[in-house]
Chains A and B, each alone.
Chain A
Amino acid sequence: MPKADLIAGVVLMVSGLALLFFIIPAQTEQDTGAAVPPDMLPQICALGITLLAAVLTLNALRGKTPDAKPPKASEWRAMVAVVVIILAGAALFQYIHPIVAGLFVTLATMLYMDERRWHLLLALPAALVVIVYLLFYEFLGTAIL
Chain B
Amino acid sequence: MMDELVAGFGAALTFYNVAFIFMGVAIGYLVGALPGLGKGTATAVAIPITFYIEPLAAIAFLIGISKGSTAGSAVSAILMNTPGEPSSAPTAMAGYPLARAGKAQKALKMGLYASVIGDFVSTCVLILSAQSLADYALGIGPIELVAILAFSLTFIAALSGKSLVKGLIAGLFGILCSTVGTEIETSTERFTFGSFDLYEGLPLIPVAIGMLAMSEMMVQIGDRRRLEAETDLLRGSGKPEDAYVTWEDWKKSFKAIIRGTGIGIFIGVLPGLGASTGSFLSYGMARRASKDPDSFERDGAIEGVAATESADNAVVPASFVPLFALGIPGSVIAAILIGAFVIQGVTPGPLMFLEQAELMQGIYASMLAASLILLFIGYFGQNMFARIIKLSPSLVLSTVVFLCCLGSYLQGGGMFGLYIMAIFAVIGFFARKYDFGFVTFLIGFVIGDGFELALRQSIGLLKGTPEAMLDHPVAIVFWVLTIVGVLAILRRKKISTESAT
How many angstroms from the CA of A128 to the CA of B407 in the assembled complex? Answer: 13
Distance of A120 Cα from B394 Cα, bound (Å): 10
Residues of chain B whose beta carbon lies under 8 Å from any beta carbon of chain A:
49, 52-53, 162-163, 165-166, 168-169, 172-173, 175-176, 179, 183, 185-186, 188-193, 214, 217-219, 221-225, 392-395, 397-399, 401-402, 405-406, 410, 415, 418-419, 421-422, 425-426, 429-430, 433-436, 451-452, 455-456, 459-460, 497, 500
Instruction: Across the interface, name the chain B residue whose C-beta is closest to A84.
Output: B422
Q: Are A86 and B190 in contact (CB under 8 A)?
A: no
7 pairs of residues in contact across A and B, judged by CB atoms under 8 Å: A38-B183, A38-B185, A71-B429, A94-B415, A105-B401, A115-B398, A128-B399
Give Cα A140–Cα B19 distance, bound, in whole angstroms: 13
CB-nearest residue of chain B to A135: B49
**How many whole Å from B475's CB to the nearest CB in chain A?**
18
Q: B172 to A77, Cβ gap below 8 A?
A: no
Q: Out of A48, A59, A107, which one reaches B168, CB within 8 Å?
A: A48
Q: Which 10 A-B pairs have the closest CB atoms?
A: A75-B222, A78-B222, A109-B398, A113-B394, A115-B394, A45-B176, A78-B221, A38-B183, A32-B186, A140-B52
Complex formed: what's the CA distance from A110 to B217 in Å?
Answer: 12
Asked if A82 and B179 sit within 8 Å, CB to CB, the answer is no
Q: Given A45-B179, A79-B429, A112-B221, answer yes or no on A52-B172 (Cβ-Cβ < 8 Å).
A: yes
Task: For the complex, give the distance between the alpha carbons of A32 and B225 in Å.
Answer: 56
| B179–chain A nearest beta-carbon distance, Å | 5
Task: Tell me which of A49, A77, A142 contacts B169 (CB under 8 A).
Answer: A49
Name the one of A12, A39, A78 contacting B218, with C-beta atoms under 8 angstroms. A78
- How far is B246's CA from A41's CA once the two chains are assembled, in angstroms? 59
Contact (Cβ within 8 A) B52 A82:
no
Q: How large is the interface on A (under 10, 10 to 19, 20 to 34, 35 or more residues)?
A: 35 or more
Interface readout for A79-92 with B: 1 if CB under 8 Å, 0 if not? Answer: 10111011101100
Q: Are B426 and A83 in contact (CB under 8 A)?
A: yes
Q: From residue 101 to 126 of chain A, which have CB atoms closer than 8 A to chain B?
A: 102, 105-107, 109-110, 112-115, 120, 124-125
Is the CB–CB distance between A74 and B223 below 8 Å? Answer: yes
CB–CB B393/A113 < 8 A: yes
B433 adjacent to A75 (CB under 8 Å): yes
Name 7 extra pairs, CB < 8 A, besides A36-B185, A94-B415, A109-B398. Answer: A45-B172, A45-B175, A52-B172, A66-B497, A89-B405, A102-B406, A110-B394
- Name A56's contact: one of B166, B193, B398 (CB within 8 Å): B166
| CA–CA, A82 and B424, complex, Å | 13
Query: For the complex, what is the distance from the CA of A143 to the CA of B163, rounded to whole Å?
Result: 46
Whether B169 contacts A38 by the Cβ 8 Å rule is no
Report the minimum CB–CB distance from A11 to chain B (whole Å): 10
**B contact residues around A94 at 8 Å (CB):** 415
| B186 x A49 contact (CB < 8 A) | no
B452: A residues at CB distance < 8 A: 41
In the bound complex, how far is the Cα of B399 from the Cα of A106, in angstroms? Answer: 6
Let me know if A56 and B401 touch, CB within 8 A.
Answer: no
Report which residue of B188, B425, B460 has the largest number of chain A beta carbons within 10 angstroms of its beta carbon.
Answer: B188
Once bound together, how far apart are the Cα atoms of A83 and B429, in whole Å?
11
Closest-by-CB residue of A relative to B432 is A71
CB of B433 within 8 A of CB of A71, answer yes
Q: Which residue of A lies closest to B451 (CB)?
A: A41
Would you call A134 an interface residue if the criterion is a C-beta within 8 Å of the partner chain's C-beta atoms? no
Bound CA–CA A79/B433 (angstroms): 12
Residues of B within 8 A of A39 (CB): 190
Contact A69 B179, beta carbon cutoff 8 Å:
no
- In the complex, which of the residues A56, A72, A78 contacts B165, with contact meaning CB atoms closer than 8 Å? A56
Task: Report A34 CB to chain B, min CB distance, Å.
Answer: 5
- The interface residues of chain B lying within 8 Å CB-to-CB of A8 are 434, 436
A69 to B419, CA, bound (A): 27
Min Cβ gap A79→B in Å is 5
A109 cross-chain contacts in B, Cβ below 8 A? 221, 394, 397-398, 401-402
Partner of A83, one of B188, B425, B459: B425
Tell me which residues across on chain A come within 8 A of B406, comparing CB atoms.
102, 132
Contact B401 A38 (CB under 8 A): no
CB-CB under 8 A from A23, the residues of chain B are: 191
Chain A residues whose CB sits within 8 angstroms of the CB of B429 once the complex forms: 71, 75, 79
- A4 and B456 contact, Cβ closer than 8 Å, known pairs A23-B191, A74-B223, A93-B415: no
A97–chain B nearest beta-carbon distance, Å: 14
Residues of B within 8 A of A36 (CB): 185, 455-456, 459-460
Q: Does the CB pair B405–A71 fall under 8 Å? A: no
In chain A, positions 38-79 with a C-beta closer than 8 Å to chain B are 38-39, 41-42, 45-46, 48-49, 52-53, 55-56, 59, 64-66, 68-72, 74-79
| Contact indicator B399/A76 (Cβ below 8 Å) | no
A27-B190 contact, Cβ under 8 Å, with A68-B435, A90-B415: yes
In the complex, what residues of B have CB within 8 A of residue A81's CB? 221
Is there an interface contact between B186 and A38, defined as CB atoms closer than 8 Å?
yes
Among B185, B193, B402, B459, which residue has its beta carbon within 8 angstroms of that of A106? B402
Let me know if A68 and B433 touch, CB within 8 A. Answer: yes
Report whether B224 and A32 are in contact in the complex, using a CB–CB cutoff of 8 Å: no
Contacting pair B191 A35 (CB below 8 A):
no
Complex Cα spacing A42 to B183, Å: 11
User: In A131-145, which residues have CB < 8 Å from any B CB?
Assistant: 132, 135-136, 140, 142, 144
Q: Are B433 and A142 interface neighbours, CB within 8 A?
A: no
Residues in B neighbouring A124, C-beta threshold 8 A:
395, 398-399
